Structure 1
Amino acid sequence: MLTTSDVAKVYDTILSIPGMNETVKIELRIARKNVLLLNQVIELGLAAKEDEKSPGLLSSVPPDSLQELKALSEDCLQKAGLTELSEKLSTLGNAK
């Protein structure tokens, strides 16, 4: 079984492969419900990174890459016209 340190080294190696910083164009057609789910998954992953409790890929990712991921998530919400709905759902979730 791999240790947390070993997993971090593997992820770091994968992220440093030549060409991994190149921009790619992805045409994506996705249902609005899946845009909301994708946004939620990204937010939960970023929240776990802030807690520093979960080892894995996010522990090896530089902060600027995480910001790009957050921006991508917000861009998807905006293009789907779901920004306001997502904010309202977040406030409902935080009211617990």
Structure 2
Amino acid sequence: MNRNESMPAVILYYFGWILTIAGVVAGLYLGFTLDLPKDGYTYLTDPHPLRWVYGFSTMIGSAVFGLILVGISEVIAIISEKSYEHKELQKA
């Protein structure tokens, strides 16, 4: 990323990657730790049968949304750069 980019583009870029990474970590956590609740306050030792479905859904959903934000940030950066170049050409 260069200096001429707008601040919203930089914020969306980093937020998109943070969201993608956090979603992958959350999905792995769900996949490995989700258990079936038992009546009362204790938990069974058996894992939830759909734990990896929930985990992969979390990973895919966050990755898609995060990468969409990264793409939008790139579009904003390109538009900002073209606008900057256009202003520089008009000054000359």
Kindly name which structure, 1 or 2, has the bigger radius of gyration based on alpha carbons.
2
Relative to its length, the structure with more strand (as a share) is 2
Normalising by structure 2, report the TM-score: 0.32
Question: Whose helix proportion is higher, 1 or 2?
Answer: 2
- Which has the higher relative contact order, 1 or 2, with Cα contacts under 8 A spaced 6 or more apart? 2
